Structure formats: C-alpha cells, structure tokens
Amino acid sequence: MKAIALVGGLGTRLRPVTYDLPKQLIPLAGRSMLYRALDVLPDDLDEVVLATGYKAEQIAAYVHEHPYRLRIRTVPERQPLGTGGGMRNVADGMSDPFFVINSDIVSSASAADVLRVHEQRNGIGALLLARVEETQTFGVAALGENDRITQFVEKPAPGEAPSPWINAGISVWRREVLDRIPAGREVSFEREILPGLLDRGVYGARLEGYWQDAGTPERVLYAQRLLFEAGKGIEVHLPSGASGTGPVSVGPGARAVGATFGPLVTLGEGVVVGDEARISNSIVMEGARIDSAATVVGSILGPRAHVAAGHRVADQILGAGGEA
C-alpha cells in the first residue's frame, strides 16, 4: 500500500519564514513538521509519494539528506494544482486503496485506524475526523448511521457547520477516486470531488487523542507544545551551561552557556545563545544567533536570524537572516 502526502501549500500565514523555506521544514520539538505528519503512517507501506509544489527542490533535498523510515518519492507540480490536482498528478502506479495525508498536521492518530474503518465499512473511502470548537477554517462532516458522512461542507460560515467534526487530514480511498479528478488543472478535492463521493459510502473515523494543524504561528507553537507534552521531543535536555525548566530540544552544535530557558523550546543546529538571554515557547532555527541579555518568547526565528543584545522579541516571526 502507498500514501500520498500533500506538500504543495505556500504557507502564507507563516511568512516571512516561508519566503525562504516551505513550512513543512519548520522543526517542531526537534523534528521537521513534514516528518511529524508522516509519523502517523504504518511501517509496512511500500512508498510515500510527496505531491510537492512550492519550494519543491528544498523538500526533495531534505528527504535525500535526512532519510526517513519509509521510502519517499517526490513528484513536483509544474503549476499549482490544489489538493485534488496534486493527488491526480501522482496517480500513476498508486495502490488500491491508498492513504492521503496533509503535511502540516500533528496528531496522536494512527492512519492504520482509518484504514481499519475503511475495510470494515467497505465504502469508497474513510476520513479521520477531529472534534473542534471553531470550524470555519476546516472541512466539516455531518454524520449518519455508523458514522457514514452524509454531508461535507468546506469552510462553512459561522453558525452553518453541520457538526463539530472536521476533516483531520488523514484519509483512505479506493484507487478509482483518482480517475474522477480532472487532470492538468487546479482542483479542490474537498469542494469539487468529495461531495460527489458521498453516495458511494464515505465514513468517518473519530479521533480520540490530540490533533493540531500547524498553519499559523500560534498553531505551530501549540503543535510543538502537544509534542513535548506527549514526550515526543528529540534530544530533550538543557544545553550545557544553561539553566531553567525546559523542555528544550537541542540541535547539533547549539550553544547557550549562561542562558535561561523556560518551557517548550526548539534550538536548531548551530544556534548560538548569549549569556543572560532568556527563551521560552519558541522555535529557533539553524544558524540563528541570540545575543546576551536578549529575550525571545512565543516566537519563530528563521535560519540565521539575529536578535541583538538586550532586545526583546515576543509573539513574532523573523524570516531567514532577519534582524531584531
């Protein structure tokens, strides 16, 4: 069995970091968002096909330089194709059935559980569903008997959602679904294709556990919090010579002698933090520098960003090479 991972988005809500790199390469608790998303997939998959678009060459380089536990192949788009068009673009040789996952989710879910629902119900597909309070930015499913999806509304207006259960970005489909997607143009799977599949039987798999999409700065940092709280941080310890509470995920060569850390921090490779600097609830990417007595809280610092001595950065994003 194979999986399609949708990796084509521009990440506009995470600019200016995403002017220089795709959001899927932002580290969360010491591991890229991309690999955090793929971690829901079972070990026995034959292949994961990344449907890439924006900064496709960086994604391809990353998976080459950082081998994953599953075989990965990238297929770039020549033009933006949307979710459905991205799926259609990688249809050649796809398995029956196949997984589809979004590449910006953090979850305790197992894709194998969604496959199990698909096999039990014997419909055309199954979707992981998460319960949320605010549904306006998601696709929302109305559920009938045996959690069969009877209606699907993409990004409903306030008060018009048919339920609190949203598409959580992990699904299983029969191969024939790909043949229903027009080739060579932008297609929204959620708006143009999914509603027409409901009469063939699309079922919900309700998530019990944590879930977060990482599409905004606040959601990125909350996703990191969930991972740390679940004990999934990488190289979690205070840097040598530093003090504080942590948890801190420390990348290779990161230095922070004399610095103080609050909770929920990722330090990328080669980060340098000066003495008496303070950092909490933040992501500091590779090569960034935070000078003495500076403070960084609730922020995302892109590669090679620089915070000058004594400066305070709160609830901000600095792009690659940015200065504060």
Q: pLDDT by residue (tens digit) across 62-116?
A: 999 999 999 999 999 988 999 999 999 999 999 999 999 999 999 999 999 999 9
| Cα distances (Å, whole numbers) of residue 312 to 220, 245, 280, 298 | 20, 20, 12, 11
**pLDDT computed for residue 260 by the predictor:** 97
Rounding to the nearest 10 degrees, give the CA dihedral for residues 227, 231, 235, 239: 90
The pTM (predicted TM-score) of the whole model is 0.93
Residue type at 212 in one-letter notation: Q
Sequence ranges of the domains in the chain: 2-216, 243-318
Distance CA 125, CA 311 (A): 52
CA 179, CA 188: separation in Å to the nearest integer? 14
Domain 243-318 -> CATH class: mainly beta
pLDDT at 10: 86
Specify whether the CB–CB gap between 240 and 257 falls below 8 A. Answer: yes
Tens digit of pLDDT per residue, the chain (324 long)?
999 999 988 889 999 999 999 999 999 999 999 999 999 999 999 999 999 999 999 999 999 999 999 999 999 998 899 999 999 999 999 999 999 999 999 999 999 999 999 999 999 999 999 999 888 889 899 999 999 999 999 999 888 889 999 999 999 999 999 999 999 899 999 999 999 999 999 999 999 999 999 989 999 999 999 999 999 999 999 999 999 998 999 999 999 999 999 999 999 999 999 999 999 999 999 999 999 999 999 999 999 999 999 999 999 999 999 999
pLDDT of 221 reads 98
Q: Give the span between the Cα atoms of 152 and 195, in whole angstroms.
A: 6
pLDDT (0 to 100) of residue 136: 83
**Which phi and psi angles does 13 have, rounded to 5°?**
-75, -5
Q: 2-216 belongs to which homologous superfamily?
A: Spore Coat Polysaccharide Biosynthesis Protein SpsA; Chain A (3.90.550.10)
